[in-house]
Chain A
Amino acid sequence: MTAPVLDALLPDLTAWLPAQRWFAAKDRTIAAVRFVGHQEVTPADAIPAVEHAVIAVSFTDGGSEETFQLLLGTRPRIPGDLEHAVIGQVGDRTVYDGLADGEISRLLLSMIVSDTAVGSLRFVPEPGIEAPVVGPGRPLLGEQSNSSVIYGERAIMKLFRRATPGLNPDLELHRALGRERSQEVAPLLGAIEGVLPGDDGALPMTVAMLQSYAANSADGWSMALTSVRDLLAEGDLRPDEVGGDFAGEASRLGKTVASVHIELARGLGTDRLGPDGVAAVADWMRDRLDRAAEAVEVVAAQRTEIARVLDGVREVEGLFVQRVHGDLHLGQTLRTPRGWLAIDFEGEPSRPLHDRIRPDSPLRDVAAMLRSFDYAAFHQLAEWETGAEAPAYLQRRAQEWADRNRSAFCDGYAEIAGSDPRDQLAVLRAYELDKAVYEVLYETRNRPNWLAIPLRSMARLVGDTAGSEGS
C-alpha cells in the first residue's frame, strides 16, 4: 500500500488500537497516529496481501510518543472467521490484523524457513536448526505485551509489538543460549528483522522471533499457587508435610536459573565492576528509591533505613556482572515434562533498551525469583477478602511456604552455580529490597490489594539486617 492509502486507514486504526491488549498506553488519550515506516511483504494485490508497518502514537498529555509494529493483512473479501480482526476498509480492500490469518502466518513461517529478504525485511532461520513443518498458525490468546502465533504445537512466533531500535534482548539472548546448546530455554528457530526509520537514519530492529513451542507446559506461577492453595487448605500441616509441597520444583528451578546464568556468562562474557561501577549500581538503586519515596509515603518514612540496606552493594569489593534475564519471576518459567524453561528475555519492558542490556549481577535474577516466591505465598491471602486481614496462622503458613521454597531455590541454584547466593547476603538483600521498593510503588498505583505483599517484605528486609536471610 502506498503512503496515502495507508493514511486513509488512520481514523480506523486510532479507534482500533486502544482495544488491543498489547497497546500499553490504555490510560492515555491518543492525539494522533502516523506511519513512520512500512514494507510490503507481498505485492499489494495478493490475496491475502501482507504489509509490515511501524506506527508512532502521540498522546493528548503531550508526553513521549510510543511506537508499535503492525502486520497488516488485506483482502478484497473477508472470511467470517477473520471478522473479529478487522481494522478498517481502504479502497476495495479490508485491512485486518494479519496474525489472525492462518494463510499469512503460514507465509511468514515459510519465508523464515527458506531464508528470504523482502525490501528492508529479512526472514532468517537459525543456522543448523531442524526447520519446522510449514503450516498455518493459530493466534495465542490472552497475551499481554506481544502477539504470538502457534504452529501445531511445534513452533511459536512472537511479534514484538513495541518497535524499539536495536537487537531485541529476547532474540539476542536466545541466540547466545542456542549457541551454548542450552536445555533451559525453548530453542530459537529463526527471526524476522527489519529497520526502524528514525531521525538519525534507519536503525536495525527485531520484528519477530520463532521458537520451538514448549508443548504440554504450565507456568511456574500457577503451579506455585496450586501448592500454596493446598497448604492453606490444610491449616495444621507445615509446607514440608503437605502433598502439594513445591520445594522439589523450587530446587529444580534454582538449578535451571543457575544453568542459564552459566550459559549466558560463557556465551557473552563476564565483567568485574570496580568501585565506580559498583557505585553506579548503587546510585541507580538510590534513584529508584527516591522516585518511590516521592510517590509513596510509607517508603518515604523509611527512606533512610532502606537506603542503608541498598548501600550494602557499595561494600562489596568488586561485583561480578554478566548478561542476565532481567525480569525473572515465576510467571517467566515454564514447567515441561522434561523440566523447567526460562522464557521472555526482554527484560523489564518499561526500561530503555540500554538499561536492559547492561550487564548486571546474576543476583538480580535470584533476588527477583525470591521476590516471586513471596508473592506466590501471599497472593491467595491478599485476594482472600478485600480489607480483612487473613488469620495470623495462615500468614504464618504462607511465610513458611515462602521460606521453604526460597531456601530450596537457593539450594538448587548453589548446586549448579558452585556458590550459594546467600553467601553474598548484603548484595542479595539490596537487590531484593530494590525490587520490593519498586513493587510497593507499582502496587500502590495499580493493585492496592496486593500492596501488603511487598510492604511486608520491605519491612522484613529493612528490619533484620543483622539477622540471617529469612530462608
Chain B
Amino acid sequence: MNDPTPGTPTSTTVVEPGHEVVQPSADDFRSARQLPVEEGWYKRAVFYEVLVRAFADSDRDGFGDLRGLTDKLDYLAWLGVDCLWLPPFYDSPLRDGGYDIRDYRKVLPEFGTVEDFVEFLDQAHARGIRVITDLVMNHTSDQHVWFQESRRDPEGPFGDFYVWSDDGSEYSDARIIFVDTETSNWTWDSVRGQFFWHRFFSHQPDLNFDNPAVCEAMIDALRFWLDLGIDGFRLDAVPYLFEREGTNGENLPETHQFLKRCRKVVDDEYPGRILLAEANQWPADVVEYYGDPETGGDECHMAFHFPLMPRIFMAVRRESRFPISEILAQTPEIPRNAQWGIFLRNHDELTLEMVTDDERDYMYAEYAKDPRMKANIGIRRRLAPLLDNDRNQLELFTALLLSLPGSPVIYYGDEIGMGDNIWLGDRDGVRSPMQWTPDRNAGFSSCDPGRLNLPIVMDPVYGYQAVNVEAQSNSSASLLHWNRRMMEIRRQHPAFGLGDFHELGGSNSSVLSYIRQTVDAEGHRDVVLCVNNMSRFPQPVELDLIAWKDWTLTELTGGVPFPAIGELSYLLTLPGHGFYWFSIQPAQER
C-alpha cells in the first residue's frame, strides 16, 4: 500500500442550517497497491470490458458483484488481458445501466462497497492487471443529491449545478440522441417550476459545466478514485459537456478546455493513469479529444474509434476491403502519445450512427433480421450470433481486432463465443451472466435461478451447457484457447500496438493487407504483415513487398518460414475468411 497523494478532502456543503451534503474523502479508505508507472502502457494493452453485474455473484443475490469479480481475476490473468474496463459501479437507481449516477463516491450496494473495490483493485494490480472505469461527467441521475438540492432551492449552493430554463426553447440545434424514448432535450420539473436540460434520458439531467463549482466537484470525483489507485477513466458521453446557442452542442471548445484541465490534474498528480474519451463522432472530430499534437496530446490518452467497427462487419458481408480501407484512409494522424481504442462489440448496441443511411439499411438487413435486434440507431447482438457462430469468421474478426491500429477492447463472454437474448428489453440482451460452467446458473451464481438479475442464455446453440469457460478451458481447440494464443502472439510483437499502419492494397479487392511497423529505442525494427480474406471463398493475392526485398516471412501462429521476398509480387493464397500474420525479418536475423 502506498500513501495516497495529497488527494481530496472530505467535502461538506451546508445547504441550510443543520442540513449538510457530505461527500467522503479517499483518506477514509485504504488504497490499492500501485503498478509501476509505465509510459504508454495503454498503447500495447489488450482491454477487457467486464460488467460487474454479469460476471460473478459472490453473495447469492442474483447480482454479480466486486467480490465475485475479484475471485475471477485468475481467469482474466490466464486469458492474458492487460486492463479491465468496468462500466459504472457507482450508486445508481439503475435506470440506465448505472450510467445514471446517484453518488460519485459510493459503490452500488448490490456490487459491494468502496472497500470491496479497493480489494479488487489491489488484487488486480497484484496480477499485473490495470483497471479503468466509466465516469459519467455529462449528467447525473435525477436522484443525485445535487439535483435534489438544485430543484429544491434555486438560490442554494447547488442551485446552479444543472441547466435550467423557463421555457425550454434554448439550444434547439442540438439533436435528440435517444430517439426511441425522448422527444425533447428539455423536461419540465414541477418542483422547481422550470425546464432542465438533458442530452440523454429525461431522468439524467445534464450538469452545468459553466458553473466553476461543477468543474471542481467533477475533478474531485476523479481524484477520489485516483487516490484509491484506479488506473484511469473512460469518460462517457464526453462531447456534450457544454451548451451554446446556435451550435449542435457537440465538441465545443469549452469542452476541450475542461478536458485539458482534467488531463493536467492526471499528469501532475497521477502520472501513468489515463483518460479514454467516449465520443461517438467521426474520427476527424474525435482526434480533437487527443488535444494538441505539438505536446504529444494534452487531452485524452485514448478515444474510441466508432466507425471502424460497423465497417468491419460491412467489409466481410460485401467481401470487399473498401469499407475498412475508406474509413482508415479518412482517419487522421493522432498525436504521439495517443492511441485509438477499437472493438467489435461492447455493452451498447452495434452503433450505426457513423454510417450512411444506405449502409445502415444494409446493415439492418444483414445483421438484424428480427426487428427486436435493433436498438436506437444500432443492432443489439453479441459477436457470435452476429456471425452465425461461424468459427472462421469469429477468428477473422478477432484477428482484425487484434491487428488493426489501436488497442483492442474485448467484450466479456465474446472470448468463448457467448450468445445473446434479444427478448430482454433495451440493451440487456447482450448483458446476460457470464457462462462459467455447465452447472446451475452457469456457475455465475448459486442463488435460486428465479433470483437472477438477468436470465442465463439457454438456447441450444449458445446456451451455457454448450458454451462455457470450463468446457473450453479443457479443449485446446476451443475458441477460448485460440483467443488466448492470439493475445499472446500480439504481446510478443510491439508493432501491433505501437506500429505505423500501411495498407498494401493489392489487386484483389477481397483481401485486406497491411503492414504494422515500429522501431524501438535501441533501433530494433518489428515488422508485421497481416493479410485478411474478407471473402468466404479462397482467394489469391499478390502483394507488393518490394520494400522488404530479400527479407523473410515467418508465420506467427506456427513459426513456419515462408519463401523470401523477391523481385516480383509476393503471392499468397488464403482460405475463405482466412488470415495470416507474418513477421518480416532481414534474412540474417533468422
Contacts and interface: CB of A to CB of B under 8 A. Distances in A.
How many chain A residues sit at the interface, stated as a range, is: 20 to 34
B316 to A, nearest CB: 8
Contact of B509 (A141, A222, A241, A338): A222
B405 to A, nearest CB: 15
A107 B30 CA distance: 72
Nearest to B511: A218
B546 A138 contact: yes
B1 to A, nearest CB: 52
Contacts of B321: 218
Interface in B46-102: none
B549 to A, nearest CB: 10
A243 B366 contact: yes
A219 B320 CA distance: 12
Given A141-B569, A226-B535, A337-B326, A217 B505 contact: yes
Contacts of B29: none
Given A216-B503, A226-B510, A337-B329, A243 B318 contact: yes
B505 A215 contact: yes
Nearest to B535: A226
B325 interface: yes
A392 interface: no
B568 interface: yes
A141 B316 CA distance: 29
B325 A337 contact: yes
Interface string A228-256: 01100100000001011100100000000
Interface in B518-556: 535-537, 544, 546
A243 B510 CA distance: 13
A81 interface: yes
Contact of A81 (B358, B510, B567): B567
A216 B505 contact: yes
A229 B508 contact: no
B317 interface: yes
B319 interface: yes
A223 interface: yes
Contacts of B181: none
A162 interface: no
Interface string A151-164: 00100000000000
A216 B325 contact: yes
A410 B362 CA distance: 21
Interface string A305-321: 00000000000000000
Given A245-B318, A337-B326, A338-B326, A226 B568 contact: no
Contact of A243 (B319, B330, B508): B319
Given A141-B569, A233-B537, A243 B317 contact: yes
Given A243-B318, A338-B326, A218 B509 contact: yes
A364 B316 CA distance: 35
Contact of B322 (A229, A244, A337): A337
A229 B537 contact: yes
Contacts of B508: 218, 222
Given A216-B325, A337-B326, A230 B319 contact: yes
A236 to B, nearest CB: 15
26 contacts: A81-B567, A218-B321, A218-B505, A218-B507, A219-B507, A222-B507, A222-B508, A223-B320, A223-B509, A226-B319, A226-B320, A226-B535, A227-B319, A230-B319, A230-B535, A233-B536, A241-B365, A243-B318, A243-B319, A243-B366, A244-B319, A245-B362, A337-B325, A337-B330, A337-B503, A338-B329
